[in-house]
Amino acid sequence: MNKSVANDFVRTNISGFYGDTKIRTLLVGNEILSGSNETWPYLVPAMINLHHALREQKLRKVKVSTPLAMNLFQASVFPPSKAAFRTDLVDSVLKPMLKFLARTRSSVFIDVYPFFEWGANPSNISLDFALFDPSAPKYKDENGLEYENLLDVQLDALVSAMAKVGYPDARITISETGWPSKMDLDQKGADIPNAAIFNRRLVKKMLARPPLGTPLRKAKVIDTYIFALFNENLKPGPTTERNFGLLYPNGTHVYDIDLTGNKNESEYEPLPPVPPEAAPGSLKLWCIANPQIDMGALGAALSYACGEGSADCAPIQPGGSCFFPNNTVSHASYAFKDYYNKFHKIGGTCVFAGAANLTTVDPSKPMFC
């Protein structure tokens, strides 16, 4: 974004609304550093140009930043005192960005989800620790600091990494955090009770007065945004991606929550019981085609599975052992099954933009060969 484009953007999208609308921060992109490195060199210059455009139009109170994801780190967030940024990001992007943010007194915006950190390592991180349970065993860092919850570990990992590149006092804002209330059969921990507990305790923690901060930033206020207000019923990806909201798309509550921080846990109505989860490895799942989806979308998903997805589709080619029955639903189910069996243990999902479903019922022929 050059200076002219930045000026036009601010004039069109900010200046005319400022005053009537409370605009505090202009965020450039979303988790840009999680995508292709082709865009990285343009991120900080775009932020600088937008900052200058705001100043030229006398909007000096509007800050500029960009949301970052937790994949910035070279390794684990444990222990947080040892956390460091990825070497491919430090000199090229992060140092110039942190210099700009410090100079303009803006915040580092971070999308931080204990749900994903716990979900990636549930055998070593307790669910109670991720859910702010005061009875959960504490984690002690090598520097002697004790941690009572996973969110503080993640935030202090960021603090430590910033200190290692020369910005120990950079401000932090949590641009996204939350917990999903529904999941696929091959996921765990995402249900209404856990989502309600996480977000209720998050609100109490972040609105505590005096502020609690983190072990490395005691008594510091950390502005925090909950993701999300509404469930995103049309969003692609795993079921969890569509169920982070506090409200359903029709505006009704997924669960009761007080966003003022005044309500204690004992004042809420009892939550439903946590639904039972199958023991790891005990649930046999099949990934099959969703016959209700548009056939064009199903065909596109089939092409992806057999191409970029690297499913073995030779048996469903003409003359192959599983070519019959010769229809898109049967061929897609075969390809989805093969893809899921190969890759689900390393992160592959049964989604295919809504073209696939998981089932615990063993599908018989003619759907599967």
Catalytic residue ranges: 31, 176
The two three-digit tokens of residue 196, written as one number: 């309600």
Q: At 357, which helix (H) or strand (E)?
A: strand 356-359
* Conformation bin of residue 257: beta by default, left when phi > 0, alpha when psi is -120 to 50: beta
339 CB-near residues (< 8 Å, 6+ apart): 287, 305, 309, 310, 311, 348
Omega cis (within 30) before 236: no
Alpha helices in 125-168 (DSSP H): 127-130, 150-164
Distance CA(219)–CA(217), nearest Å, equals: 6
Whether the CB-CB separation of 136 and 128 falls below 8 Å is answered with yes
Helix locations, the chain, DSSP H: 3-10, 40-56, 87-89, 95-103, 114-120, 127-130, 150-164, 192-206, 295-306, 328-343
Contacts of 183 (CB under 8 A, 6+ apart): 189, 190, 191, 238, 239, 240, 243
For residues 299 and 281, what is the distance between their CA atoms, to the nearest angstrom?
Answer: 31
Q: Where are the alpha helices (DSSP H) in 239-285?
A: none
